[in-house]
Amino acid sequence: MILISMTFILTVKGQEKKDLVISVSSGLLTSPIYENTSAQGFYKIDFDYHLTSRHIITANYLGGQHYYYDDILSNDPLVSIGYPNGTNSTAEYRTTSIMYKYRIIDNSRISIVPGAGAGVLTHTREYPYQEERKSYNKISSWSDLVFPISLDINYKISSRWQFGLTGGFLVHPDFPILALNGGPRLSFVLP
């Protein structure tokens, strides 16, 4: 509700800048809540609509995974075939969210943009499981509300292109921080 109110207030105030920026990011994703995690990759696409030169509304999608050691859901935790560094399971994240971002530093070349929002996460875990004489990987999945927090640092290469770094985490009501991600970001300002 606060996000909708902010959007309305900023829209009524006037729009001095109406750019749409498409950004793609990739890097590492991990989680502090799992035992013995091994960071793996993530990818993210952001659609940033600039309400003003400093106020931004973003729709984004983040997907990624990491390996971890599971001895809670798994009834056969010693199986670790195909997994690195003593891990035996995979956690996968798929998040679609809406965020509000604010440029705290905005000069001709560099911008620093923190953001926060709300979204829907689908979390899937694959772990070893055994029934009688049969071992296999079992899959469990759930979806819930999450609150993404991000920080983007951009360097303007030209009038249309920006390169930078992005980092962030997903806050879930049942876990303080569910996932952490960070990596390079490439952005294009649509004409």
For residue range 102-159, list pLDDT tens digits in order: 999 988 899 999 999 999 999 998 888 887 777 778 889 999 999 999 999 999 999 9
- What local confidence, expressed as pLDDT, does residue 12 receive? 46
> Mean pLDDT across the stretch 97-106?
96
Q: How far apart are CA 127 and CA 70, in angstroms?
A: 7
pLDDT band at 16 (very low <50, low <70, confident <90, very high): low
pLDDT: which is higher, 133 or 165? 165
In a domain, 160, yes or no: no
- Any domain includes 46: yes
Is it the case that residue 175 has pLDDT exceeding 50? yes
Residue at 189 is within a domain? no
Q: Is residue 191 part of a domain?
A: no
**91 inside domain:** yes
Residue 81's pLDDT is: 61
Q: Does residue 48 fall inside a structural domain?
A: yes
| Number of domains present in the structure of the chain | 1
Domain assignment present for 188: no
Query: In the predicted model, what is the mean pLDDT of residues 74-83?
Result: 64
Structural domain of 176: 2-17+27-102+115-151+167-181
161 belongs to a structural domain? no
Q: Does pTM surpass 0.85?
A: no
